[in-house]
Amino acid sequence: MTFIKTTEQDSNYNNLENMTINEIIHSINKEDQSVPLAVEKALPQIENLISQIVNKLNIGGRLFYIGAGTSGRLGILDASECPPTFGVPHSLVIGIIAGGDKAIRKAVENAEDSTTQGWNDLEAHNVSENDVVIGIAASGTTPYVISALEKCNSNNIITGCITCNHISPLSLTAQFPIEVIVGPEFLTGSSRMKAGTAQKLVLNMITTTVMIQLGKVKGNKMVDMQLSNDKLVNRAIQMIVNELCISESEASLLLSKHKNVRESITHGRRK
């Protein structure tokens, strides 16, 4: 089958500059509504990759995201939210972007075109066969990402990918590809839009499901979250109140002592 980069195909809308604000936002919203349906079609692929991640993390492995531009930033965003949400170390889920950390805020010219730097960036974290590496690229053609996954494959490291084109070079490289086919963007080629939204939805699924499977959630609550601000402290107190049927002052005392919702509930039950 011939590879067609649908993320680069011409928009279904034309003369955007002549549209009213109302027409623009309604058209974008209409396109956005198709994204969850595209993700739904990829659920079997998502499940397969998550199973691999859970297996590796259960034996001490790590999860890496590697990407360029918007894709790289989304991976870093998802990785950075795991420690505060689930109380895991920053070293468990790691996001890597072409061009290094400075590329998070400002594009680094030609960084995504390197066929060696992706693997170098992974090696800097001592990536091993205990880990899983997910390449993120809407186009599925980014050399930085593809070459990194090729090296992972040759080093017996499980690879996955998130892309928005069917049978792309990246999909053919990854052992566990996820393809979310969202079609042409409202603004031709602007894959930060539907493609970026699709990638974020899949990333949400991956880490949330993995952390639930690893026991980082109780019921439907983030019992291992970091208590980094007043809002989260208040949320933690309410969790303890509801779980132990005690007063807020008692819950607050438990939380002050144990610094963690799970530990507070465990010790509260022993009384």
Catalytic amino acids?
81, 112
Report the C-alpha gap between 216 and 161 in whole angstroms.
24
For Cα atoms 100, 133, 41, give the angle at the middle one, nearest 5 degrees: 115
Q: Are 233 and 254 in contact (CB under 8 A)?
A: no
DSSP 254-269: HHHHHSSHHHHHHHHH
Q: Regarding beta strands 132-136 and 158-163, do their DSSP bridges make them parallel or antiparallel, or are they unpaired?
A: parallel
User: Which runs of E-coded beta strand occur in 21-121?
Assistant: 63-67, 93-97
97-104 CB contacts, 8 Å cutoff, 24+ apart = 97/66, 97/67, 97/68, 97/72, 97/73, 98/67, 98/68, 98/69, 98/72, 98/142, 98/144, 98/145, 99/68, 103/68, 103/69, 103/72, 104/72, 104/73, 104/76
DSSP 123-182: HTTT--TTSEEEEE-SSS--HHHHHHHHHHHHTT-EEEEEESSTT-HHHHH-SEEEE---
Report the C-alpha gap between 113 and 54 in whole angstroms.
31
